[in-house]
Chain A
Amino acid sequence: MSQERITKHECAHVAALARLRLTDDELDRFSTQLGELLDHVAEVESLDIDDLPATQHPFGISNLLRADEPAQTLDRDQVLAQAPHIENGQFRVPPVLGEAS
């Protein structure tokens, strides 16, 4: 059953969505482990709770709003000092549109 829950191919697709590269070993292991876990959580499938509302927050509170007043910004140099690669006050990255495998 586990093997059917999530195939290696699906696992690879999910990894791509999450921007992770998994080795073949990892793909094998993860698809098995995720399958087992999904088998376990499948117990909730049998619960007849379609009519219940979904809980997004444990308590039904709403609306925390903030006044539209500017506050201190972060110091740019301090922020950029933490960055892997900077240029002219900006964050430098490799070309954005390359092939993502």
Chain B
Amino acid sequence: MNPSPTSASQTAAAVRSKARSALSVVEEHLAVIGQSEEEICAFNIVTADKARSRAAQIDAQIAQGHNPGPLAGVPVAIKDNLCTKGIPTTCSSRILEGWEPPYDATAVELLCGAGAVIIGKTNMDEFAMGSSTENSAFRPTRNPQDTSKVPGGSSGGSAAAVAAGFAPIALGTDTGGSIRQPAALCGVVGVKPTYGRVSRYGLIAFASSLDQIGPFANTVADAALVTDVIAQFDSRDSTSISQPVADVLPTLDHGVAGVRIGVIKELGGKGIAPDVAARCDQAIGALESAGAKVGQASVPSAGYGLSAYYLIAPAEASSNLARFDGVRYGLRVDAKSTPEMNIATRSAGFGEEVKRRIMLGTYALSSGYYDAYYAKAQKVRTLIIADFAKAWEDFDLLLSPTSPTTAFSLGERTADPMAMYMSDVCTVPVNLTGQAAMSVPYGCGQDGLPVGVQILAPALGEPLMFRAAAVLEASLG
């Protein structure tokens, strides 16, 4: 692979100063895509022509003395569950194949408003349900570091696109780790901002109370830049946070001297591959060298996160995905009555994992089981929030591995849903609590594949979280 030598911010600066044209930047990335996309399969669609004309438009703006914004001319890859006006948006599902949204997701609108150029829509596990991108209805994406391995998921296409140099930045979505885990497996930076920081308007919902949009980038600084652009209050999302929050970029190089960092006991040790654990220890050492006070933190209920997650997320999904019924858009398989048509359409249009989760969620909400499953899981959520609140009394940031292992082989876990679900054990708790977290690449495992370290921050704690990430990045040289 041949990642782009310059960062997004450098590219934007060069475009704004006319040192480079936006069009040439796009052409350069299209060339990289042309070389290796066939093997990686990061995209569901590459919007080459639209990208060229958009780049030409940006060059024209600059020629007229306008500033297109901090991402001027920077190509971005967008996960295919984010609505893009006039560009097919499929969630990597047969049921939405060919659908063109009549509107842009807010996050997409903000990126474009900052001068970014959409270069394509990325592959994903169908409806974001999965941890390997093998659940795409179209084809699996491969890990650019080793194409026999999965890129992680569900935002595997976005992670792979950045890792392969197809685009310096990408957007993904994270419901139980779907940004952080593929970022770790592909060796890039991935951020799940605080729930409510980035508007979900235009994000095709998997689990509404857990979903959050965030960036992938090759550098912490690029991820910070994108976070500052997309983390805005949006009156179209009722769960959007309205209070003003400090930008991340201005304090990025402030270091971690005196910052209290806790290593989460319950998310280490058992179940974590030794080489992954070793890299985490090195990261801890680097933070200590930078002046952080590192200790052991305990979040006793964190281990229950996976169970709560696998009740709450499918329950919400079962309801969110009810609208795919063959009536208004997307696939229809005809039948002699509307109920039969709904059944035929959904049975043909959804893949096995989506069906499995709809089944689980429908069951968890159904009469007689609601209290035992869904309501109980929401209480577990309260418990985990309370345990984290205690940990925040002693620590400013928390740390854990992002994924228990490095990238696994294609097909390795597809037959065993439980094994696949376990990939999310370290990332899921933060989705339940709504806090911010990010994965930073920190060297490789014994297999030579990337390892990611997860930094967790309390709600709205992004600025400090990014400072620690910058310290880790710098410590690798």
Contacts and interface: CB of A to CB of B under 8 A. Distances in A.
A83 B345 CA distance: 14
A40 interface: yes
Nearest to B233: A64
Contacts of A41: 307-308, 310-311, 373, 377
Contacts of B417: 33, 37
B325 interface: yes
B105 interface: no
A44 B209 contact: no
B380 A47 contact: yes
A58 B432 contact: yes
B379 A52 contact: yes
19 contacts: A10-B363, A11-B359, A14-B366, A19-B346, A37-B310, A37-B360, A37-B418, A43-B304, A44-B377, A45-B372, A47-B380, A49-B383, A54-B375, A54-B382, A57-B434, A59-B434, A59-B459, A61-B241, A94-B337
Contact of B343 (A20, A37, A52): A20
Interface string A20-36: 11100010001001101
B238 A64 contact: yes
Chain A contact-residue range equals: 35 or more
A44 B376 contact: yes
B147 interface: no
Main secondary structure of the interface of B (DSSP, over half): helix
A75 interface: yes
A74 to B, nearest CB: 6
A97 B432 CA distance: 40
A88 interface: no
Interface residues of B, number: 71
A5 to B, nearest CB: 10
Nearest to B242: A64
Contacts of B270: none
A53 B339 contact: no
Contact of B376 (A49, A85, A96, A97): A49
Contacts of A47: 304, 376, 379-380, 383
B299 to A, nearest CB: 15
Nearest to B334: A94
Interface in B276-305: 304
Contact of A21 (B337, B344, B375): B344
B329 A95 contact: no
A93 B383 contact: no
A9 to B, nearest CB: 13
A41 B418 CA distance: 11
B37 to A, nearest CB: 27
A57 B239 contact: yes
Contacts of A95: 336-338
B44 interface: no
B382 A55 contact: yes
Interface stretch (B148-156, B169-177, B261-269, B350-358): B350-358
